[in-house]
Amino acid sequence: MIILRIIGGLAVIAIGLLLIKYSVKVTDNTGMIEFAEKWFKAPLAGTYTWWKLVGLGVMVLGVLWIFGFLDFFPG
C-alpha cells in the first residue's frame, strides 16, 4: 500500500501544482467566484488567488497522504 500512497500523493500534488499554474485558465472556464472576489480584494485578484490557495491546499493533502497522515485505504 505504500506504493499506492506515493503514486497517489504525487498525482494529487501534480493536480495542485496545475491548479496554481493555470489559475487564469481555470477561472476562464469556471467564471468568477463572488465570495472570493469579496474576500480577496485588490491587489490579491480575487478568484485567481482562490484557485492558487485551493491548489496549495490540494498539494498539502497530497503530502499528508504520502506520509500516512491521511489513510483512504485502511488495512
Q: Where are the domains of the chain?
A: 2-66
Three-class SS string for the chain?
A: CHHHHHHHHHHHHHHHHHHHHCHHHHHHHHCCCHHHHHHCCCCCCCHHHHHHHHHHHHHHHHHHHHCCCCCCCCC
Per residue in 25-65, pLDDT tens?
A: 999 999 999 998 888 887 778 899 999 999 999 999 999 99
Say if residue 70's pLDDT is above 90.
no
What's this model's pTM, rounded to 2 decimal places? 0.85
